[in-house]
Amino acid sequence: MKEKFALFEVRCKLAALAVFGGFYVAAMSLPPASGQYPQLLALVSLVLTVIALAMDFGRKSTAQGEIGGVDDTELMVLDPYARRVRRVRFYKAWAIILVATGVGMLGGFAFSALILFTGFALFFGSGEQRLKRLAIGVAMTVVVYLLFGVLMGVPLLEGLL
């Protein structure tokens, strides 16, 4: 048990638990209408952090046992083609993020989420699963809109235009 507290990951989770607990307590002083959303976020974060800590403490093996089977092949230098492929993926991801941010500033968060989800669905992954991932991206946008726009009353379609 004592060695679990020595792990950096566990200490970070304990710190996050304290921060989210502080956020929950701080949101209690807000008026009821505006305090519900921060309390809900803090509560979900608290629950997920407690679950992650419980999984860490319930795990039998330590990190040294999980890393034991690594060989020297991971330390090899990548060839120029693999580096170029990784660089292109990096630039595509940042392009999607920047375009989604720009569209979000103009049209609102709902459009930003749509561009973000569908952009990653189109540009990453295998070709045969593209339509399925695109449908999942659109469905996630609808879920985000329903959850935040309809249920919580967050104005997701307010942008500069």
pLDDT at 40 (0 to 100): 86
Q: pTM higher than 0.85, yes or no?
A: no
Q: What pLDDT, in 10s, does the model give residues 77-94?
A: 678 888 888 899 999 999
Task: Identify the pLDDT of residue 74.
Answer: 56
d(CA 66, CA 70): 9
Question: What is the tens place of the pLDDT at every residue in 16-73?
Answer: 999 999 988 988 888 887 778 888 888 898 999 999 888 888 876 554 444 445 555 5
Residues 138-155: tens digit of each pLDDT = 998 899 888 888 888 888
CA–CA gap between residue 121 and residue 95 (Å, rounded): 14
Q: What is the pLDDT of residue 100?
A: 92
Domain boundaries, the chain: 2-62, 86-151
Between CA 86 and CA 24 the distance in angstroms is: 40
Over residues 99-128, the mean pLDDT reads 87
pLDDT at 66: 47
